[in-house]
Amino acid sequence: MTDHPDVKHLLTSVQMAHFVSHGALRMDGVVPASLNERAIAVFDEGVPRAYAGATVDEAYPAGSFVRELIDLPAVAGAIHSLVGPAPLVDHHAVHIRQAHNGSAQPLHADAIIDTRDDAFDVQLMYYPQDVTLDMGGTLSVPGSHLRRINESDTGRYQNLRGQTRLVCPAGTVQFLHHGIWHGGRRNDSDITRYMFKIRFNPTVRQRLLWNTEDLRDPAVGEELRTRFPWYENASGRIEFVNRTRLWRALTGDPAFDLDYWTTRVDNRPQRVLPTV
């Protein structure tokens, strides 16, 4: 992976704000047909295991299928924008759901509870085929990523208002915040479904790593103010506070706020009046 992608392939500030509010960013059909046509044979054979904390070069040598995938300019630009240069590979997995497989994953977030509010891991999910609704695909709950849970604490929930079930064209890549609530659905089609994922850990501070030319675009604030139908009227505001803190960390702007909520709860004056 190049440490310095062309700026035209980096994410914009509006796209980064979308990721911060939704916990996901989807890029439809960015992988060329030539790679998609090779993918299933590669996944059937199995991708060699990478140990946790491996560098990209160690996990995916030059010339390997996965290296070709993540070196695609649009994919490499998104990875750089989200986690920076030279990320580490936490783990990867090939998920294969056979035709007419009647089980589905419970709603969950990956790994143990993670309280970081100034950093995050990113999961790349690649779909080499067209994914139709009856194939199941990945279910996720937009805006859930900053509400901390431990793995399958949400497994008892069957449906939440606003959840999405992935339907996409072949060659789609989706980037997920590590905390998003998600789960693979059952496959009711006649086609075996494939998905490949990689979790990346950053090795640099995730600050202003994208194309910041539009940082002051009003659309940034509009994205950050997105409300989802499963949010409670009152405690849903906590998600706006969480987003604000993450955006402050990403931009290095400690004064940024959405409607004064975070400024209010962070107010801890340090000036001490003299005693009489």
Work out the angle between the directed axes of helices 73-83 and 13-22 (0-180°, nearest 10).
70
Flag whether pLDDT at 2 surpasses 70.
no
Question: 3 — phi, psi (to 5°)?
Answer: -80, -10
Q: What percent of the chain stands above pLDDT 90?
A: 81
3-state secondary structure of 93: strand
Rounded to 10°, the helix 237-251/13-22 angle is: 140
Average pLDDT along the chain: 94
Bigger pLDDT: 105 vs 211: 211
Q: Any bridge partners for residue 165, and if so which?
A: 139
Q: Residue 66: is its pLDDT beyond 90?
A: yes
* Residue 185 CB-density burial (10 A; 0-12 exposed, 13-18 middle, 19+ buried): buried
Say if strands 193-201 and 164-165 run parallel, antiparallel, or are unpaired.
unpaired
Mean pLDDT across 184-189: 92
DSSP 144-185: -TTS---GGGGTT----TT-EE--B-TTEEEEEETT--EEEP
pLDDT at 31: 98
Q: Would the pLDDT of 186 be above 70? A: yes
Mean pLDDT of 105-129: 92
Q: Which domains does the chain have, with CATH numbers?
A: 7-201 (2.60.120.620)
Taking a C-beta distance cutoff of 8 angstroms, is the pair 84, 78 a contact? no
Q: Do 9 and 211 form a contact (C-beta atoms < 8 A)?
A: no
Residue range 29-55, pLDDT digits in tens = 999 999 999 999 999 999 999 999 999
The Cα 169–Cα 184 span in angstroms is 17
Residue 85 has pLDDT above 90, yes or no: yes
**Of the listed ranges 4-8, 10-14, 63-67, the one predicted with least confidence:** 4-8
Question: Tens of pLDDT along 205-256?
Answer: 999 999 999 999 999 999 999 999 999 888 888 999 999 999 999 999 999 9
Residue 9 burial (C-beta neighbours within 10 Å; 0-12, 13-18, 19+): middle
Average pLDDT over residues 84-109: 92
